[in-house]
Structure 1
Amino acid sequence: MNYTKFQELVTAREGFRSMDDASATGEYFSDSCGDLYTFYLKVRHDEVIEDISYFTTGCGFGTATCSLLVEMARGKTLNEAALIDEGTLDRALGGYPEKKKDYPARSIAALRNAIENFRTRSGGTQVSDVPADWTATEELQNGPRVFRAGGKVTVKLSSLS
């Protein structure tokens, strides 16, 4: 591990801030340690990430990893940013200690959630949580339905008016 690079990232905290005018946000919550990762994206009409920032409740490894991801994703298209993987982050920091190897996956999950949220809201890649053939009649006969898609759980209830 490149401890000099790690210390620079933790000290500078590049992109560690919220963003009021974000085009989209994405979060990841780590059940194992309780860390929260949130990425904020400001995306141009051509799907280039104009600005990116993050917030984390995590330790220095979370901060360093998110800062690296900010450096790598800024100025990239959403597709290019979505291709940043754990190996890329691992190599950029010269490896992670064994007990910290999951930090790249956490930050990437938050970034990819932000990208998915942007695309869902802007008419890009749609993630549907309801089957096309679903009807209220079916619900009345079988009860409410639970749908899982894109990391979200939706319970569909019909109006009986």
Structure 2
Amino acid sequence: MRPFIAFLHESIEVHVPGPEGGIRVTPIQRYLSSALVQPFGVEQILRNVLIPATPALPVSLGSKQEGLCRAIIQWGLRLVANLVAKDKGENTLKYLGRLPVPCQGGWFTLNDASFGPGWNETIGEHLQEYLLGARTEESRDAMDRLMLPPDHEFGGGCCILKPGSSF
């Protein structure tokens, strides 16, 4: 993700206490904010960094772009999980759906995917059985979009989501 975002070192002061209270912007902050640096929050990182960094989908499993897809969804989930844990960020969740997730047929957006087998408290097993039995073009397309289990190797060996977790 380094080509897409960088953070200032924590020792660089951009805001300091004002002489009469409040916060004062430093000359460094004035210079950086003119065009080089933008303030960030979870929504801004999702909208302005992760979504634009997502390659054209679908991306094949095992392709060169897979590492980027994995990094994008893992970072996105970590960012959103912190908000969800604080009971905030409901509006931010809409951006999560535009991030890539590993599915049986490659990497698709979360909005276009369904839970497949291996996801706790879902109907993934039954959905896969139904789609296999239907044997139509639409069912084959839907099979491609079934998310791989959270502990699958395409999660990078670090579980994109832990089984039984919400994020």
- On whether the aligned pair clears a TM of 0.5, the verdict is no
Question: Which of structures 1 and 2 has the bigger CA Rg?
Answer: 2
Flag the structure with more relative contact order, 1 or 2, with Cα contacts below 8 A and sequence separation at least 6: 1
TM value normalised by structure 2: 0.28
Which has a greater percent of strand?
1
TM value normalised by structure 1: 0.29
